[in-house]
Amino acid sequence: MNRRTFLASCAAGVGSVALTGGAQGQQASRKGPFADVPLKMSLPIGWFKGSTDERLEQIAAWGFPAYEWLNPEGDLDALRSKADSLGLELSCIVGVGAIRPGQMMDPKRHDAMVKQFRERVELAHKLGCKRLIGLTGNERRDVSREEQTEYVIRCLKRVAPIAEDENVTIVVEALNPLVDHRGYFLTRTDQTMEILKEVDSPNVKMCFDIYHQQITEGNVIRNISRNIDRIGHFHVADNPGRKEPGTGELNYTNIFKAIAKTDYDGFVAMECGQTRGPEGSLKAVLECFD
């Protein structure tokens, strides 16, 4: 059964499939339409309504191999058990830093950054997650950008050995300063790559947020293709609006194709809102793979 044929039946049957668990749930996750796409897609838990269990069941029913929850909460043992029963991996959580002043740009906070990262690694292990977001924080006005860059490198060099020892990857995220995060320090792909080269750890890579990079610099496919070896996670949203692919100016058919042509084996997470409800918006995303 091809994806188009299955999608018609999946939309009608997702409710009943989503209410199953255990081996049946794992089978549903393998048979859903997103199990047939060439990338390992991940969906935010907030895309569906209901309890945590019901949301995970619906994600699995659509064939996703993973869910994204950057700041998971609640009964974490129950969350891990339910996700495992459905064959779902937690694709990424917040690991170190935040979107606010100080953070990695302040050497006096580096001890706190290390402590924060160790705590988040414990959470990642508890939930079976291998990727943790790194956020530099906002830029400073009292020192040069070169000095701030050195502070970021220094901080990442302190947490990199922890990531290596614990077998997790820090994915440092650049954010756009024009629309969503004015004053944020790390904004460009080339800037990120310079930092990663200095840190020089296989466990410190970039979270390439396609929405943010389109706003900041464009040139999305070329930047992805040239730097894929240092990209450890993707976030997906269209621009403008930060909704699902197909609602803005980005050609996600070509972007997904470009990623699939590389040897990238990580997750591509849908960090975006929706305009047509879960079912309609997921159908639109699938169209990008046709």
Q: What are the Cα distances from residue 57, in Å, to 121, 172, 276? A: 26, 30, 20
Kindly state the average pLDDT of the residues 262-266.
Answer: 98
pLDDT tens sequence across 154-165: 999 999 999 999
Q: What is the spatial distance between Cα 172 and Cα 189, in angstroms, rounded to a whole number? A: 11
Average pLDDT over residues 44-65: 97
pLDDT of residue 20: 38
State the average pLDDT over residues 25-52: 85
Average pLDDT of the residues in 58-87: 97
| Angle at CA of residue 265, ends 264 and 268, nearest 5° | 85
Annotated domain spans of the chain: 3-287
Asked if residue 226 has pLDDT above 70, the reply is yes
56's CB contacts (< 8 A; 6+ apart) are: 45, 67, 82, 83, 86, 88
SS3 content of the chain, % helix, strand, coil (to 5): 50, 15, 35
pLDDT band at 290 (very low <50, low <70, confident <90, very high): confident
pLDDT at position 65 over 70: yes
Q: Estimate to the nearest angstrom the gap between the alpha carbon of 2 and the chain centroid.
A: 28
Q: Helix/strand/coil (H, E, C) string of 97-114?
A: ECCCCCHHHCHHHHHHHH
pLDDT value at residue 11: 43
Rounded to 5°, angle at Cα 13 from 55 and 78: 25
Instruction: Quote the pLDDT of residue 176.
Output: 98
pLDDT at 84: 97
The pLDDT-based confidence of 124 (bands split at 50, 70, 90) is very high
**What are the beta bridge partners of residue 97?**
135
- Cis peptide leading into 202, omega within 30 of 0? no
Alpha carbon distances (Å) from 10 to 33, 54, 163, 286: 8, 16, 39, 13
How far is it, in rounded angstroms, from Cα 231 to Cα 226? 10
- The whole-number pLDDT of residue 103 equals 97
For residue 201, what pLDDT band results from cuts at 50, 70 and 90?
Answer: very high
Question: pLDDT band for position 30 (50/70/90)?
Answer: low
What is 3-287's CATH topology? TIM Barrel (3.20.20)
% of the chain beyond a pLDDT of 90: 89
Name the residue among 23, 26, 73, 24 with its Cα closest to residue 45.
Answer: 73
pLDDT digits (tens, 9 = 90+) for 164-182: 999 999 999 999 999 999 9
User: Quick check: 193 pLDDT over 60?
Assistant: yes
Scanning the structure block, which residue is given the tokens 């549903």?
28
Query: What is the value of pTM for the model shown?
Result: 0.91
Residue with tokens 């009964």: 75
- pLDDT tens digit sequence for 96-120: 999 999 999 999 999 999 999 999 9
Confidence of residue 21 (pLDDT cuts 50, 70, 90): very low
Going by the DSSP 8-state scheme, the letter that residue 242 receives in this structure is S
Q: Name the burial class of residue 56, with classes exposed (0-12), middle (13-18) and buried (19+) by CB atoms within 10 angstroms of its CB.
A: buried
For the segment 215-224, what is each residue's pLDDT rounded down to a tens digit? 999 999 999 9
Cβ within 8 Å of residue 192, ≥6 positions away: 172, 174, 186, 206
Q: Is 265 exposed, middle or buried (0-12, 13-18, 19+ CB in 10 A)?
A: exposed
Which pLDDT value is given to residue 25?
39
Greater model confidence, 12 or 159: 159
Answer yes or no: are the C-beta atoms of 120 and 96 closer than 8 Å: yes
State whether the Cα torsion 73-76-80-81 is positive or negative: negative
